[in-house]
């Protein structure tokens, strides 16, 4: 009898769920923008997803090795509020209005962060958002604008701090699990009355990471990592998506392509989308490689994998580069063409980096890079390109060999002319 009752209750629940009712799933998923990196990825390289110096947001808050930075966060909060000449209640009230949206931005928020929410008090979550948001804005402003109030020997907000502490902070600000919703920064700046333009915070972030670049205007962004990613994909012509014939087969490494006549040149801009192939020339954007590249790109890939609608351009680019980079000699070739700027200890180390970045990821079937791959593979199959490349590599690399070849051709021509004249004279 109890079993029958349980089955009846379950059937009733399912039938009630099947009845037409408004669904808020789309709105619910649409608010998420900050994610926990999947365990499958962290198991491969756990350290690259963890902050070195500072936590932003709830995921890594309270870790022992990050505790020293909490003092500097609190100090930055005081500087920020004092300079704004606004009472701290104003900041709290502004963020409390959007507290639910801020919480919804996080994929997995522990119950402790939801305690006190909506009860008219400064919940632990809101305190964290304000403190971390003020610290992040102070970091952005002190490196891109004139900001007074910090001592010349400040361990963070001084020239010494910019040289020693800032590199780790800059790296930590790009971790997927270490993001703050853009809404936090917008609300804090709005209370201060410092929102000079709609794109103000985006420009702060762009100037922080690309101080010498002509930074473009972009639309609404989710957080720092989203701004960074979009900046790497802008200023490029959109490519039509064609048929993906033979797309399951990889293209050959750069050195083999070069031996078959493929030339490499730097693209007109640095967008990762600016990859093209025409008339035997593969054009790729200039790409710097250093010790932070692994961490940055693994988190960019994790973001694209987690956030529906983010796109897959960064993942596709890494997959493409992994195809044409197999060994250090491939990096050396691309470096000689000005495509890769290698700041690592060796070309072999850079090659291993690209190979590790592409582990456990696949090129999207709809990526425009599929068309480029197919064009390169078709060019590679034609033997005449290999013959011409061998001729160029063998006979036209040394100027003395070129002169000797020209002399031989001229000598052959003169001999042929002399032979013709001799035959004609004999007939006469």
The token pair at 169 is: 């902070």
Looking at residue 54, its pLDDT comes to 97
The better pLDDT of the pair 410, 315 is held by 315
What is the H or E stretch that residue 342 is in?
A: strand 340-342
Give, as one character, the DSSP assignment of residue 12.
H
What is 247-285 written as a DSSP string?
A: TTSPPPPHHHHHHTT-EEEE-SS--TT--EEETTEEEE-
Whether residue 243 is predicted with pLDDT greater than 60 in this model: the reply is no
Distance, in Å, from the CA atom of 238 to the CA atom of 360, rounded to the nearest integer, reads 27
**Residues 181 and 102: beta-carbon distance below 8 Å:** yes
Q: How many residues does the chain have?
A: 428
The string of pLDDT tens digits covering residues 324-361 is 999 999 999 999 999 999 999 999 999 999 999 988 78
Mean of pLDDT over the chain: 84
- The confidence band for 241, taking pLDDT boundaries of 50, 70 and 90, is very low
Q: At 287, give phi and psi (nearest 5°).
A: -140, 110
The better pLDDT of the pair 214, 1 is held by 214
Whether residue 150 is predicted with pLDDT greater than 50 in this model: the reply is yes
The better pLDDT of the pair 238, 358 is held by 358
Distance, in Å, from the CA atom of 221 to the CA atom of 219, rounded to the nearest integer, reads 6
The better pLDDT of the pair 403, 257 is held by 257
pLDDT cut 90: percent of the chain above it? 53
- The confidence band for 248, taking pLDDT boundaries of 50, 70 and 90, is very low
The mean pLDDT value for 314-324 works out to 93
pTM, entire model: 0.77
The mean pLDDT value for 134-151 works out to 89
What is the H or E stretch that residue 340 is in?
A: strand 340-342
Distance, in Å, from the CA atom of 98 to the CA atom of 129, rounded to the nearest integer, reads 11
The better pLDDT of the pair 5, 316 is held by 316
Residues contacting 373, CB < 8 A, separation 6+: 247, 250, 251, 320, 323
Whether residue 395 is predicted with pLDDT greater than 70 in this model: the reply is no
The residue extents of the domains of the chain are 39-231, 254-385, 398-427
The better pLDDT of the pair 424, 325 is held by 325
Distance, in Å, from the CA atom of 105 to the CA atom of 348, rounded to the nearest integer, reads 40
Whether residue 76 is predicted with pLDDT greater than 90 in this model: the reply is yes
- The confidence band for 246, taking pLDDT boundaries of 50, 70 and 90, is very low
Whether residue 34 is predicted with pLDDT greater than 90 in this model: the reply is yes
Whether residue 154 is predicted with pLDDT greater than 60 in this model: the reply is yes
Looking at residue 388, its pLDDT comes to 47
The string of pLDDT tens digits covering residues 64-73 is 999 999 999 9
Nearest in space to 125 (alpha carbons), one of 143, 165, 98, 144: 98
Name the one residue in this structure whose structure tokens are 């480029």.
Answer: 372
Helix, coil or strand: residue 427: helix
Looking at residue 278, its pLDDT comes to 92
The mean pLDDT value for 115-143 works out to 87
The mean pLDDT value for 316-321 works out to 94
The string of pLDDT tens digits covering residues 358-376 is 887 888 878 889 899 999 9
Looking at residue 239, its pLDDT comes to 45
Tell me which of 44-53, 184-193, 410-419 is least confident.
Answer: 410-419
Tell me which of 94-108, 174-188, 392-406 is least confident.
Answer: 392-406
Distance, in Å, from the CA atom of 170 to the CA atom of 301, rounded to the nearest integer, reads 18
- The confidence band for 31, taking pLDDT boundaries of 50, 70 and 90, is confident
Q: At 377, give phi and psi (nearest 5°).
A: -65, -40
The better pLDDT of the pair 42, 129 is held by 129
Give, as one character, the DSSP assignment of residue 106.
B
Whether residue 92 is predicted with pLDDT greater than 90 in this model: the reply is yes
The string of pLDDT tens digits covering residues 195-233 is 777 789 999 999 999 886 677 788 899 999 999 999 999
């Amino acid at each position: 009898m109890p079993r029958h009752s349980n089955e009846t209750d379950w059937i009733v629940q399912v039938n009630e769920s099947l009845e037409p009712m408004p669904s808020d799933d789309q709105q619910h998923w649409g608010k998420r923008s900050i994610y926990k990196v999947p365990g499958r990825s962290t198991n491969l390289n756990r350290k690259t997803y963890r902050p070195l110096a500072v936590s932003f947001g709830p995921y890594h808050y309270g870790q022992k090795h990050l505790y020293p930075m909490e003092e500097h966060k609190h100090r930055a909060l005081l500087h920020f509020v004092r300079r704004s000449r606004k009472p701290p209640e104003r900041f709290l009230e502004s963020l409390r209005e959007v507290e639910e949206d801020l919480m919804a931005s996080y994929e997995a928020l522990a119950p402790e962060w939801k305690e006190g929410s909506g009860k008219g008090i400064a919940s632990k979550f809101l305190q964290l958002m304000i403190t971390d948001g003020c610290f992040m804005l102070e970091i952005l402003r002190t490196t891109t604008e004139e900001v007074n109030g910090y001592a010349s020997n400040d361990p963070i907000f001084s020239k010494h701090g910019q040289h020693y502490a800032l590199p780790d902070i800059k790296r930590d600000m790009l971790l997927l699990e270490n993001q703050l919703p853009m809404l936090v920064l917008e609300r804090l700046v709005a209370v201060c009355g410092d929102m000079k333009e709609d794109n103000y915070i985006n420009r702060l972030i762009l100037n922080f990471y690309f101080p010498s670049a002509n930074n473009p205007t972009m639309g609404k962004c989710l957080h720092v990592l989203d701004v960074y990613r979009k900046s790497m994909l802008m200023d490029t012509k959109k490519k039509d998506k064609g048929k993906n014939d033979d797309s399951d087969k990889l293209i050959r490494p750069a050195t083999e392509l070069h031996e078959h006549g493929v030339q490499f040149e730097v693209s007109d801009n640095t967008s990762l989308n600016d990859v093209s192939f025409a008339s035997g020339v593969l054009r790729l954007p200039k790409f710097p490689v250093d010790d932070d590249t692994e961490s940055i790109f693994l988190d960019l890939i994790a973001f694209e994998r987690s956030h529906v609608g983010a796109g897959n351009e960064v993942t596709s680019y890494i997959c493409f580069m992994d195809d044409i980079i197999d060994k250090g000699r491939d990096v050396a070739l691309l470096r000689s063409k000005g495509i890769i700027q290698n700041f690592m200890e060796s070309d072999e180390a850079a090659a291993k980096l690209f190979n590790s970045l592409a582990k456990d990821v696949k090129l999207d079937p709809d990526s425009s890079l599929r068309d480029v791959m197919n064009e390169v593979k078709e060019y590679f199959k034609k033997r005449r390109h290999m013959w011409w490349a061998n001729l160029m590599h063998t006979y036209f690399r040394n100027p003395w060999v070129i002169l000797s070849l020209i002399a031989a051709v001229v000598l052959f021509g003169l001999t042929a002319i002399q032979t013709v004249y001799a035959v004609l004279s004999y007939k006469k």
